[in-house]
Every structure is written in structure tokens, then in C-alpha cells.
Structure 1
Amino acid sequence: MTARGSGPGPAHRFRSPRRVPAALTALVVLGVAVLFLYDLAAVRSGRPGMGWRRDLADQLATHTPADLGVQLIGGGLVLVGLVLLLLALAPGLRGILPMRTPDQRAGVRAGLGRKAAAQILRDRAMEVSGVRSVRVKVGRSRVGVRATSHFRELDDVQADLDAVLAVGIEELGLARPPQPRVRVRR
């Protein structure tokens, strides 16, 4: 997924590759498939099936889908499947904000971590005269800024912070610049 320049194309969020969970799932499925194939080959060659498979077949013959235990196990498996499906579809790298790229080359993308963006904006806000402390939280669509002023009028500090943060957000070069939300108190 590429982050496009400031042109008409949208910049997509970064997604986690999730290689380790996919590899573990593939290994488990492969192991179960090999086990079943081995047992099937043993039965076809005239040997008896594995004991666990015969026990499982007996259990399945004696328990019906109306049994409470079967329904609970089935519901648990459905719940696990839904959670795994949700995790597979949800983006995993929410902490990285996509940035604009200066050219339209395919495959080029840049991102900035939310914590790094917050630190940059915090440093900018601390340069404003009259600001004693600042807390900055960067989201996808908003930048929350809470500042404490100690000797200037709150309206003046708020106006200066709005101007400094507008310039700072623009200089971050984000594909979708978040809107600042500034609160100043004594």
C-alpha cells in the first residue's frame, strides 16, 4: 500500500504483515493434515486406525448436536474463529501515520509514529511563551493538546498555540493532517 503525494490518490494506512501467526497456523494445519493422511493410508493398507480416531468416532456416535457439551464446544470454536477473523482483517500498525511522498513512484511509502509526532508537536508547543507544561496525544484525525499557562493571558497562549501547532502539523507532512484540539488552563 503506497502513500501517494498530495494529489488525488488516498494514502492508505500501514498494515501488519503478521508472518509469525500465519506461519504457526500453517504449521498446525499441516501437522493435522499429515496425521490424518497417515491414518488414512494405514487404514487403506489393512491396518487398524489410530486409537484416538476410533475413540473420536465412538464419541461422535454417542453424542448428538443437542447435547449441551457439544453446543458449548461448538460455540467456543465459533467465537475463536470470529476473533481470529477479526484480527486478520484489522490493521495491525495503527501507531504509524501515513505521510505524503514528494513523488508519485509506486511502492514508495513513508510513515511517522504517533508518539514521535506527539513529541515533535510537544517540543513546538513548549517554545510558546507562557506555556509551563504540555501534554499531546496524536490520533488519526485529531491532535489533543492540553497546556498549562502560568503568566500570560489564556486567550493569547491559545492563539499562539493554535498558530504554532498548525505550522507544526503541516511540517509533519502527513497524508491526512489531523485537526488540533487545544485546551489551555492555569
Structure 2
Amino acid sequence: MTEPHEPQHRTQRLPTTRPVEQGTALELDQSASSAAYDPAPAQQESGGRAGRFWSARRIPAAILALVILGGTGLLLYDVAAVRAGHPAMRWRRTLADELAVRPLDDVWVLAGAAAAVAIGLWLLVLAVTPGLRGLLPMRRDRPGVRAGLDRPAAALVLRDRAIEVSGVRSVRVRMGRGKVGVRAVSHFRELDDVRADLDTVLGTGIKDLGLARPPSLSVHVRRPAKKG
């Protein structure tokens, strides 16, 4: 990806990015900056508060609905059959007998209770958390308009900017919700100079993403691995 004012041929450097070969010794010569970019404090947005996007969670909801529907239907059918003079189903008689004779400290009783508690906690977490961790909310400049940016797309934009810094041979960007981790390999120039340029370029790139909560930046630069 390139900026509109940049020539298209600048993306030709992307194929030069490749992983370092395994089984080789790494040089200790490296430069790192942690959180060198301090994001600007959050400002009051004219379009309203830019909160996280909530996931519909259709699959868990559908599975839970089917389980409840199947269990309720089976139980109601058995109760209606008993009312009509038929014997109860074997599974319900067995379950009632087991619950009547097993003590509360029985292993199976404790295991069933633990499973029910775990499922209940899982459902509560799904109900009160927004989800969609891979979607970063952007600033709301206009009322009624919400926008989000995928974390992989944001990482790709920053990677394209980092690879154009002089001296950078390859770069890997890990985009988190609160922090951007950048690991670059430089084959010439002083590592501190390359790291300083990356701090500047990526700091500007993070601001240009337009995120509601700009993440902090951590940059690590090292020399390529020695072969043999």
C-alpha cells in the first residue's frame, strides 16, 4: 500500500523481505527503543465516543439455543408421556436414582457442577465483552458514522512505510490493541540511525491511521544473521 501522492513503483521493494535462515548465529549488534512514540492524549471527538465494536456471536448463540430447545423439548415430551400414563424415559429414571443415592462430595457430582459453572462463566463473559479484538475503532469525526480498521491491514500499512526506510532489509510488524511491536533487520547504516528513522516514520504512520486510541510503539533493529 502506498500513499496517493507516492509513485507506484516504490512498492517494488516488498519482495526483498524474507525471513532469516534458521540455524544461524545472531550478532549481538542491535538497537531497540521501547515506547519511543508516545501517543497523543485522547481528545473529545465531535462525532461521539468511539467504543469497540460488539460481536454478534451468532454461532455460540445458535448452539446454545439448539441445546436448550432440544433439552426442553425432550423433557416436556417425557413429562407429557408420564401424565398420559406411560413410564418415564430410562435416562430420567437413571438420573433421578443417581442424584438420590450419590452424596454431594461425589466426584461425578462435583465434576458436573464444575462444568455447569464453567459454561455459565463462559456465557457471562460472552455477554459482557464486546469481542472483535481484530477490529480497531477509528476516530469519530462525524455523528452517526463509525469506522474500524483491521489489525492485519494496519500492520501492513506500517510495514510498507518501514520497509522504505534506508538501511532496512526486512521488517516484521505485530499490531496489538495497545502496542505496536516492530522488529527490523538492517544490513547497512548505524543501527541507532535506522531505529531513529523508524521511530519517526512509524510514529507518523500511527497518527495517520486515525485510530481512536493510538497504540504505543516499540522498535528493535539488528544486523542480519551470519551464515556458517
TM-score normalised by the chain length of structure 2: 0.70
Matches within 5 A, 1:29-178: 29-105=68-144, 108-178=145-215
Q: Are positions 1:28 and 2:67 aligned together?
A: yes
1:41-81 alpha-carbon deviations (Å, 9 max, x no partner): 22223333223222222222222223333223322332333
**Is the Cα contact below 8 Å between 2:46 and 2:141 reproduced in 1?**
no
Q: How many angstroms apart in 2 are the aligned matches of 1:57 and 1:19? A: 34
**Is the Cα contact below 8 Å between 2:54 and 2:131 reproduced in 1?**
yes
- Say how many residue pairs are matched: 181
Note the aligned Cα RMSD (angstroms).
Answer: 2.3
Which structure has greater helix proportion? 1
Q: How many angstroms apart in 2 are the aligned matches of 1:158 and 1:67? A: 61
Q: How many angstroms apart in 1 are the aligned matches of 2:180 and 2:95? A: 57
TM-score normalised by the chain length of structure 1: 0.84
The gaps in structure 1 that reach 5 residues or longer are none
State the identity as a percent: 62
1:115 partner letter? P
The gaps in structure 2 that reach 5 residues or longer are 1-43, 224-228
Q: CA deviation at 1:83?
A: 3.5
1:94 partner letter? R
The 4+ residue runs of structure 1 with deviation greater than 6 A are none
Change (3 A) 1:68 1:153: closer
Q: CA deviation at 1:139?
A: 1.0
